[in-house]
Amino acid sequence: FVFFMTIWSSITAMNVVFYINAIGKSHLDFSDSLVDSLKEKGHTVDVIIARMNDQVTGHGKSKADRFYVFGFKNGSDWNKMHHLTNIFGDVRFPINGFRPYYDIGNSLCEIALTDQKLHEFLTYRKYDIGIVGTFDFCGVSILKSFGIPSVNTINAVPIMPIETVTIGLPNAPSQVVPLFQPADITTLYGKFWNVINWAYLHFIQIPEIKATQEQIFRKRFGKKFSIDRALSKIDLSFINSNEIMEKPRPLHHRFQLIGGINLRSPKPLNENLESILSKSRNGTILFSFGTQVAGDVYPRYAVKNFVKVFKKFPGYTFLWKYEIKHGEERMFEEAKNVVVMDWLPQTDLLNDARVVGFISHLGLNSFNEVSYAGKPIISIPLFADQPHNTDNGVHRGTTVRLDKTQLTEESIEKALRAILFDSSYRRNAKMLQKMLNEKPETPKERFTKWVEFAAANPGLHKVFKLPGVEMGMLEYFCIDAILYVMALFLVYSLLMFI
C-alpha cells in the first residue's frame, strides 16, 4: 500500500515556483506558510525572493527545495519612505504616494531581467504553476515569459486596487475605499475624495505602471511584448483576508480569501510569563506594535500617558513590548502593574484565557491572530493596511480606534474602559472567533485545493474573464449610452421646436 501511495504521489506532485517581493517580514512569513502548505502535500517548491526592502533579511523559514535571492547591490531607498520616517506624525498618504515605491520596483525589475542566474534558476525545472507576490506587474510578466502554464498571485495584505482594476472588477466609489487611501464615504466630502482617488488609480497610476514596465520588458523581449496580455492570463489571486472579518464588497471567483493561513498553534508559556499572568487579579492586557516599530520612535508624551493610565487599573497587568529609554526608569519602576519586555510570544499570549485585551497597531497578522483568539482590541493604526484593518475591527464591534497623533490620557483611558467594561466588545470578539473557527473550509485547504486545481486546469483565466477588463472609460461607465440618450433628446427637442 505504501509503495502504491508513493507512486501515486510522484505522479500527482507538482513543480511550483514562487516569486516573492520582500516588502516586509510579514510578507515573508505569509509566503512561508503557503510554501509549507504545498510541501506538506508532497509538491516540489522553489522560491525566488526580490529584495525590495533591505531591512527584510534572509529568505524566510519555509521548507522550500531551492531559493534564489536578488536585490540592489547598494540597497534601496525603502527605509527612507515617509511611512517609516515619521510613524506617529500626522502625515497623510498623498494621492501619488506610491510613485517612489514603484520606482524601486521598476529598478528591481530591470535587475531581474538582466540577472542570468535568475534565468538559470527558472529553467532548472519545468514548472507546472507559478505564484507571484502582488506589488506590480514584473513578477507575473517574468513567469509568463518563461512559459509557465498557470500563473497566480498572492497578496499578504487585503485586496489592492492594482488587482481589482486590472481584472475589470467594479470598484463603486460609493461602497469601496481603496487600500492605503482611507476616506469616510458616509460624508459628501469623503465620497468626493474617494471618487478622485479611484479615478487617479484607474486612469493615471495603474496605466503609468503598465506603460513603464512594458517598456522595460520590450527592451529584452521586443516591441510585441504586452503587459496586458501577461496580466490577462492570471488564473487565481489568493488574498490574506477573511470574508468573516472584512467589510462586504463586490468580489469575483478569481479571488480566493485565505486569511489566517499563517497562524501557528499556541505553545505553553515559559515560567516567567506564567508567573506574571498568574499574579494578575483581573487579567492581563497585551501591548505590542510588532517588529517594525522600535521603542525610540514612540512619542515621549504618549509613553507617559500610557503609564499614567495603566496605573489607574491596578487590578490588571499590562505586558508591554517596549525598550525603556534613558530617563524613563523611575516612571516604570513606580508602575507596579506594568511589565516591559523586549520580545513577547504574541500568539501564545493572545490564546491564553488570562489575557483579556490587546493594544496594537493592528497589522494584518496581528488582526488575524487576535480575531482567532477572540480578544477585544484597542487599535492605534500607523500606516499601510492598518487603518483598513482597524475599520474592519470597528465595523465588527471588536475594536476601539485611537488616533496616533492624539494619544492623550483621556482618550487612552476611555478606550481602555470600553474594552474592559463594555461587555459588547468581548461578546463580539467571541462571536467572531466562533465563526472563524467553525468555517466549513480552512484557509490551508482552500489554498492547496485551488492551487492544485489551477495547475491541473491551466487556462482558468479564460473562464473567469470579466468584460470590464477590455472596456474603455466611455464604455465602462456607460458614458456612451448616456451621450446617446442625450443626443436623442436634443434631436427630439429640435424637431419639436421646428
User: What is the per-residue pLDDT across 147-163, written as a single tens digit (0 to 9) for each?
Assistant: 999 999 999 999 999 99
Asked if residues 132 and 151 have their Cβ atoms less than 8 Å apart, the reply is yes
Would you state the cell numbers that stand for residue 140, as one nine-digit string? 507575473
Cβ(194)–Cβ(171) below 8 Å: no
Euclidean distance between CA atoms 498 and 495, whole angstroms = 5
Residue 266 is assigned to a structural domain of this protein? no
Please check whether residue 117 is in contact with residue 189, taking contact to mean a CB–CB distance below 8 angstroms: no
User: Are 426 and 447 contained in the same domain?
Assistant: no
- 4, part of any domain: no
- pLDDT (tens digit, 9 = 90+) per residue, 43-75? 999 999 999 998 888 889 999 999 999 999 988
Which is nearest to 368 in space by CA: 443, 247, 259? 259
Do 64 and 153 lie in a common domain? Answer: yes
Shared-domain flag, residues 310 and 404:
yes
Question: Torsions phi, psi of 150, nearest 5?
Answer: -125, 125
Could you tell me if 98 and 82 lie in one domain?
yes
Residue 473 has pLDDT above 80, yes or no: no
Domain range holding 425? 271-437
Distance between CA atoms of residues 329 and 322, nearest Å: 12
Record the cell numbers describing residue 475, joined without a space: 464604455
Residue-level pLDDT at 226: 95
Task: Give the pLDDT score at 111.
Answer: 97
Q: How far apart are CA 91 and CA 181, in angstroms?
A: 12
What predicted TM-score, i.e. pTM, was given to this entire model?
0.91
| Strands 338-341, 316-321: pairing kind | parallel
Residue 298 inside a domain? The answer is yes
How far, in Å, CA of 202 to CA of 205, rounded?
7
Q: State pLDDT tens for residues 222-271.
A: 999 999 999 999 999 999 999 999 999 989 999 999 999 999 999 999 99
Is residue 5 assigned to a domain? Answer: no
Residue 389 lies in a domain: yes
- Together in a domain, 94 and 218: yes
Shared domain for 156 and 250, answered yes or no, is yes
For 125, the grid coordinates are 525545472
Share of the chain above pLDDT 90, in %: 79
- The model's confidence at residue 380, banded by pLDDT at 50, 70 and 90, is very high
Q: In what order do the strands lie in the sheet with 44-51?
A: 66-71, 44-51, 15-21, 129-133, 150-155, 234-239, 255-257
Report residue 199 as a C-alpha cell.
479615478
Same domain, 37 and 92: yes
Q: 326 and 364 share a domain? A: yes
Question: How confident is the model over 65-113, as pLDDT tens digits?
Answer: 999 999 999 888 887 776 666 788 887 778 888 888 999 999 999 999 9
Mean pLDDT of the region 173-177: 92
Q: Could you give the 3-state DSSP secondary structure of residue 38?
A: helix
Average pLDDT, the chain: 92
User: How many folded domains does the chain comprise?
Assistant: 3
**Is residue 1 in a domain?**
no
Q: How far apart are CA 281 and CA 314, in angstroms?
A: 9
b/e sequence 452-482, b meaning 16+ C-beta within 10 Å = bebbeebebbeebeeeeeeeeeeebeeeeee
Q: Long-range contacts made by residues 74-82, C-beta under 8 angstroms, separation at least 24? A: 76/51, 76/52, 76/104, 76/107, 76/108, 77/104, 78/23, 78/52, 78/53, 78/54, 78/104, 79/53, 79/54, 79/55
- Residue 25 and residue 126 in one domain: yes
CATH (domain of 152): 3.40.50.2000
pLDDT band at residue 6, thresholds of 50, 70 and 90? Answer: very low
Residues 92 and 169 in one domain: yes
pLDDT at 436 over 50: yes
3-state secondary structure of 21: strand
Select from 90, 27, 51 the least CA-distant residue to 383. 90
Same domain, 287 and 255: no
* 307 occurs within a structural domain: yes
Q: Can you state the angle between helices 386-396 and 364-373, rounded to 10 degrees?
A: 20
- How far apart CA 442 and CA 470 sit, in angstroms, is 34
Same domain membership, residue 50 and residue 162? yes
Residue 455's pLDDT is what?
Answer: 96
- Per-residue pLDDT, 3: 43
Residue labelled with grid coordinates 506617529: 88
7 falls within a domain: no
